[in-house]
Amino acid sequence: MISVNPLYEATNEWLPSIVRLLEPQENDCIAAVCGSGDQAFALLESGAKVVTIDREWHQIEYARRRGSALQENDLSAFLRTKDPEYDRNSLSLIDQSNRYFKVPGRLELIRRNLDRITFRESPFLEIVAEGEFQWSKLYLSNILMNEWLRKNWHRNDARAERPAQLTAMLPHLQRGGLVYMSGVDSYFGNVKEPHPGLRLKKYVLEGSPQCLLRDAAVYQWTG
């Protein structure tokens, strides 16, 4: 049992979309929002270097303990199949993630690449901008919306300011690098152009009924 109580026990996104749209490769260096760790572990299958980041210590600790469980080949702990503490919605999301991870051979590939993952407790932008890594891809989930709502929840006239955090991150991404975001339609109101330097590669609306964030897009940074 992984005895940490995180806010996010499993991803509420569709893991196949994240992997398919970001196309992770062995030579990639990916900054990934941590949450439950599901997304970062899925990206790790490719052999890419993944730096998974969360401002909340309990999310990082939760994901780190799952990684340790997988390293020790404790699959039931990694998959959380014997933990009675989760509510019905969390169990539904966990089951959705587990169906992805239980594809034959997948967990073994992820386990082999666990030395390629780094866990960082920090605001996402700080790690992206500090210059330690040369990023080829950014997995943002819906972090931009969450940050904007946290700071501007009382306002209804700040839509033009929403891409500011994105603008601050993009100079630290390789030209031609990819950015994956969820909830782009509701956040930007313009799926095709959230930023002048980003070219839309693919927008999708898919996933299981359990997914709360079913719309996502991947963009290419043109500089």
What CATH number is given to the structural domain containing 161?
3.40.50.150
pLDDT at 63: 97
Q: C-alpha distances in angstroms, 197 versus 89, 220, 222?
A: 38, 8, 5
173 assigned to some structural domain: yes
Q: At 134, is the secondary structure helix, strand, or coil?
A: coil
45 assigned to some structural domain: yes
32 assigned to some structural domain: yes
pLDDT at 105: 96
216 assigned to some structural domain: yes
pLDDT at 5: 81
What is the per-residue pLDDT across 147-176, written as a single tens digit (0 to 9) for each? 554 555 445 544 444 567 888 899 999 999
202 assigned to some structural domain: yes
What is the per-residue pLDDT across 144-154, written as a single tens digit (0 to 9) for each? 766 554 555 44
Q: What is the torsion angle, in degrees rounded to the nearest 10, for the CA atoms of residue 16, residue 22, residue 25 and residue 26?
A: -90
157 assigned to some structural domain: yes
Instruction: Specify the number of domains making up the chain.
Output: 1
Quickly tell me which residue has 């260096």 as its tokens.
Answer: 29
For the chain, list residues with pLDDT below 50.
Answer: 149, 153-154, 157-161
Instruction: Domain of residue 139: give its range.
Output: 15-221
Q: Are 128 and 147 in contact (CB under 8 A)?
A: no
Which residues sit opposite 219 in a β-bridge?
Answer: 179, 200
8 assigned to some structural domain: no
145 assigned to some structural domain: yes
pLDDT at 191: 64
pTM: 0.89
